[in-house]
Structure formats: structure tokens, C-alpha cells
Structure 1
Amino acid sequence: MSTSNSTAENSIASEQTHRITGPHAEPPTVANATTYWRCESCERESIREQDLHRETFHADECEVIDQC
């Protein structure tokens, strides 16, 4: 039995500072609140996750572009 099964130790996402996260929920006080996805590197957001997997969506200096 392994004792190093904690999520924080084994999670690839916890090691990446430049990643796509979501879905995030807008506050209920926002009219027509929805969920959205965010690129943590260039801080751009979209309600469609597939947008974040296109190179043209990200800022020129974004480090996530290499993963698209």
C-alpha cells in the first residue's frame, strides 16, 4: 500500500501554473449567469471550453499556446 496517494502530490494540474481551468460559475447576482473557462496564463475567458484549445484565442505571449 502506498502512502503517497494524496491529490496534491500526484496531481499534474497542481504542478502547472499555466493551465486552463473551469468551469467557473458566475455569481448569481449576474444577470443570465453562466459558467465559463479561463486560461490562467493569459487570463482570457470564454463560455465555450473549445475556444481555449485554439491558438488564436490566447494572447501572443501566452504559455498555453504550446499545448493547443
Structure 2
Amino acid sequence: MSTSNSTAENSIASEQPNRITGPHHEPPTVANATTYWRCEACNRESIREQDLHRETFHAAECEVAERC
């Protein structure tokens, strides 16, 4: 039995900061709430997952971009 209150998504992101994570869900209190994906290395986000698999999407020195 786990005593952690963190979600699997959050624990994966904290252990492996150079990954693409998602989908993340905006809280229902946000107008036009949607889901989005995030590059944990450069902190860029997009509502389209395929954007994060393009090298040009990431910051100039992003480690994830090198794997695209």
C-alpha cells in the first residue's frame, strides 16, 4: 500500500525532468479548460501532443529537442 498522495504522473515528472508529460487537465474553474502536454526540460506546453515531437517547438538548449 502506498502512502504517497502524489499521482503517478507527478511522480514520473519529478523523477525524470527531461520528458514529455501529459495529458494534464486544467481545473474546471478555468474558463474553456482543456488538456495539454508539457516538456519538463524547457517547460513549454501545447494542447497538441504532436507539437512536442517537433525539434522546433522546444527551447534552443532543450535536451528533449535533441531526441525529436
Pair member with larger Rg: 1
Return 5+ residue gaps in structure 2 as ranges: 1-12
Moved over 2 A (4+): 13-17
Is the partner of 2:36 in helix, strand or coil? strand
State the AA in 1 paired with 2:46: S
CA distance in 1, matches of 2:44, 2:37: 9
In 2: Cα distance, 1:32 partner to 1:16 partner = 30
Q: TM (normalized to structure 2)?
A: 0.76
Paired residues, number:
57
Instruction: Provide the alpha-carbon RMSD of the alignment.
Output: 1.9
Q: Deviation at 1:16?
A: 3.2
Structure 1 counterpart SS, 2:50: helix
Q: What corresponds to 1:62 in structure 2? A: 62
Q: Percent of aligned pairs with the same residue? A: 84
Cα offset, 1:17, TM superposition: 2.5
